[in-house]
């Protein structure tokens, strides 16, 4: 079953007044246990997914995790003929300015070694980094696909907002930084995959209605399961093969 497209040109719905419930978010993530069964049932569809031609794909993980979390996703892409690579930067810590510098160096390294622009796949915080890398260096990026990424609102659009507030983070400042960044459009093809069952990220904040030509697709998985969902994987292969 293909992902459901958000109507082209339609505005994103207003963000909810409150951040997603952390308790509800944790409960939704338990859906992760169903993904091995779903992948087994859809193994034929996965095998028949679009094939790549060896072009490089750099996969950026979510907050607090590293390349191990994206290993199944990269393994699938490699089986389909893509040169899928981990980011090789350890755990993704919530320090976007500093981490972005490292991502840009890694992006330039891959683009130089392969001799062509790189497709970026970013999950959660990794998607924030992928968007900003494409915004700053469109000459190095072929395409961006994001999974469960807040496009607006920053930390306020996540179930972790209160935890960061307790730690002393300035949520208003983070939201302003998102707004400032959005003033420079992303000029490469972009697909944003969101889910109403995400739990961690408010789905309304994960719809990109500001980037010209952005494609928004709705999945049915919780946040932690997006990179394992067979429908997401087949869609990912299709977009990267274009």
Is the pLDDT at 52 greater than 80? The verdict is: yes
Cα distance between residue 130 and residue 123, in whole Å:
9
Residues 100-118 pLDDT 10s: 999 999 999 999 999 999 9
Cα distance between residue 137 and residue 116, in whole Å:
13
Model-wide pTM > 0.85: yes
For residues 211, 221, 242, 7, the Cα torsion angle rounded to the nearest 10 degrees is -50
Domains of the chain, first to last: 55-201+217-241 (3.40.50.1820)
Task: Return the minimum-mean-pLDDT range out of 36-40, 87-91, 190-194, 232-236.
Answer: 36-40
Cα distance between residue 223 and residue 201, in whole Å:
8
Provide the greatest CA pair distance for the chain. Answer: 48
Tokens of 5: 């497209």
Confidence (pLDDT) at 1: 65
Q: How many CB atoms neighbour CB 23 within 10 A?
A: 10
Span 119-128, mean pLDDT? Answer: 97
Is the Cβ–Cβ distance between 59 and 85 less than 8 Å? yes
Angle at 193 between CA 73 and CA 99, to 5 degrees: 65
**Burial readout 100-138 (b: 16 or more C-beta within 10 A, e: otherwise):** eeebbebbeebbeeeeebbbbbbbbbbbbbbbbbbbbbe
Cα distance between residue 27 and residue 233, in whole Å:
23
Residues 163-219 pLDDT 10s: 898 988 998 898 899 989 889 999 999 999 999 999 999 999 999 999 999 999 999
Span 142-148, mean pLDDT? Answer: 98
Cα distance between residue 13 and residue 226, in whole Å:
21
> What mean pLDDT is reported for the chain?
95
């Amino acid at each position: 079953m293909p992902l459901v497209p958000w109507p082209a040109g339609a505005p994103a719905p207003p963000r909810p007044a409150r951040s997603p419930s952390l308790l509800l978010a944790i409960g939704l993530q338990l859906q992760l246990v169903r993904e091995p069964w779903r992948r087994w049932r859809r193994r034929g569809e996965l095998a028949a997914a679009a094939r790549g031609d060896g072009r490089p794909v750099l996969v950026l993980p979510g907050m607090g995790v590293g390349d191990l979390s994206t290993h199944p996703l990269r393994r699938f892409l490699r089986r389909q003929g893509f040169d899928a690579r981990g980011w090789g930067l350890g755990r993704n810590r919530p320090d976007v300015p500093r981490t972005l510098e490292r991502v840009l160096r890694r992006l330039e390294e891959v683009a130089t070694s392969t001799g062509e622009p790189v497709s970026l796949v970013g999950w959660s915080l990794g998607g924030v980094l992928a968007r900003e890398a494409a915004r700053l260096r469109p000459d190095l990026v072929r395409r961006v696909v994001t999974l469960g990424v807040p496009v607006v609102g920053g930390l306020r659009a996540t179930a972790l907002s209160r935890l960061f507030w307790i730690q002393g983070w300035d949520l208003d400042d983070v939201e302003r930084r998102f707004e400032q960044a959005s003033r420079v459009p992303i000029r490469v093809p972009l697909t944003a995959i969101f889910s109403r069952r995400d739990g961690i990220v408010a789905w309304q904040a994960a719809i990109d209605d500001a980037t010209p030509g952005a494609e928004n697709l709705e999945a049915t998985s919780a946040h932690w399961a997006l990179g394992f969902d067979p429908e997401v994987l087949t869609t990912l292969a299709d977009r990267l093969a274009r």
